[in-house]
Amino acid sequence: MVAFEAVTKRFGGSGGQPGFTALDGIDFSVPRGAITGIIGRSGAGKSTLIRLVNGLERVSSGRVLVDGVEVGGLSETALRDLRRRVGMIFQHFNLLSSRTAFDNVALPLEIAGLDARAIREKVAPLLDLVGLGDKANSYPSELSGGQKQRVGIARALATSPKLLLSDEATSALDPETTHSILELLKRINAELGLTVLLITHEMEVVKTIATDVAVIDRGRIVEAGRTFDIFTMPRHETTRALLSSSLGVKLPEWVRSGLQPQPLAGGRVMVRLIFFGETAFQPLTARLVSEIGPGVNIMAGTIDEIAGEPFGSLVVSYASDPAVLERAARFYAETGLTTEVLGYVA
């Protein structure tokens, strides 16, 4: 649906100065019908990336294609037509305070030249879709933050887009309202077959809604793939840092500070066990104890859901005696259990 091909975007630069490179050689595709999240730290290039999709910014080099059409090669007229097929919702809603909810949703249809009857036939069902059929005549000042965002979503859908862009759309909302907006976006994606591309710094948002994810750092895509795969086995240090506070288990500082990279005589190894797929529903911890002996301590654990799939994480410790480590390694290989050695303690 959307493809970035060797995309670079620079700002400024004159008199021989190179300026600032916001995006540097981006190669990345957004699957049709998927909900794809772009995550990264502030200033990583997320907003610039999404603004290239609807032509609010132009590439310095490379190509951005939407449904096979190169955005950078469009005339102003063709670009306006593209924007009618690409909806966008914003962090701060961008509603007109002087217009009712109905009139805010109707605005893009008025610009497109539809008559009053066609507008009514389009807007009323959209307000019903987002759960605001009874708020048609309310002004933004009379609506809650979540209701304002629902109006923004309905407005973005008014021109029947095939692609919906979300720029930190839940960042200004409380957790309960965020959840309801995410559920709405998931339902719209499923019912309308809409491709959704969202940027956010909230890992919980991506974990809840996105089927695919890309991690951007200093203008480069450093990791991309299925959300479940990226979240359960992050490979890049930036991804691990972003996920550190939102996924898996956290050990107390006194435990973490005592971990050593090499085995200690008479010490113990600390191992993170990762459960997903078939292993999520098997009594593997009990079998581990049976295999290597009763000296297994459970240090911490959690169970979660990522993109609709179960995921569990358990930290255990046991003797780092070579014979015990060999039995444990054999058990992990036989069961297919994913593990990560966190370190060794006395």
In a domain, 248, yes or no: no
In a domain, 258, yes or no: yes
DSSP state letters, 240-288: HHHHTTTSS----HHHHTT-BSS--TT-EEEEEEEEEGGGGGS-HHHHH
pLDDT at 247: 63
Find all residues with CB under 8 Å of 175, minimum gap 6, and list them: none
Main-chain phi, psi angles of 270, to 5 degrees: -110, 125
Angle at 342 (CA atoms; ends 339, 346), nearest 5 degrees:
125
Pair 188, 283 in one domain: no
Pair 69, 157 in one domain: yes
Q: Count CB neighbours of 65 within 10 A.
A: 17
- For residue 201, the one-letter residue type is H
pTM, two decimals, is 0.81
Pair 208, 159 in one domain: yes
Give the chain's domain count. 2
- Rounded CA-CA distance 74/30 in Å is 20
Range of the domain at 273: 253-345
- Rounded CA-CA distance 248/302 in Å is 6
CA 115 to chain centre: 38
pLDDT (tens digit per residue) in 34-76: 999 999 988 899 999 999 999 999 999 999 999 999 998 899 8
Pair 225, 268 in one domain: no
| Cβ pair 58, 23 in contact under 8 A | no
pLDDT at 311: 83
Q: The CATH number of the domain where 172 resides is what?
A: 3.40.50.300
pLDDT at 246: 66
Pair 57, 199 in one domain: yes
- Rounded CA-CA distance 249/268 in Å is 19
Pair 214, 261 in one domain: no
Q: Containing H/E element for 75?
A: none
In a domain, 48, yes or no: yes
Point out the domain boundary residue: 193, 211, 243.
243
Per-residue three-class SS string for 87-149: EEEECCCCCCCCCCHHHHHHHHHHHCCCCHHHHHHHHHHHHHHCCCHHHCCCCHHHCCHHHHH
Nearest to 187 by CA among 155, 164, 215, 212: 164
Pair 180, 40 in one domain: yes
pLDDT at 287: 85
Pair 141, 44 in one domain: yes
Pair 89, 114 in one domain: yes
Q: Containing H/E element for 299?
A: strand 297-306
Pair 239, 272 in one domain: no
Nearest to 335 by CA among 297, 283, 298: 283
Pair 233, 296 in one domain: no
Q: The CATH number of the domain where 308 resides is what?
A: 3.30.70.260
pLDDT (tens digit per residue) in 303-343: 888 888 888 888 999 999 999 999 999 999 988 888 889 89
Residue 332, token pair as written in the block = 């992990």
List, run by run, the mean pLDDT of 10-residue segments along the chain (346 residues).
Answer: 94 72 94 94 91 92 94 90 90 92 96 94 96 96 95 95 92 89 92 92 89 95 93 87 72 83 90 78 81 86 83 89 92 87 90
| Cβ pair 210, 195 in contact under 8 A | no
Pair 220, 260 in one domain: no
Beta bridge partners of 216: 221
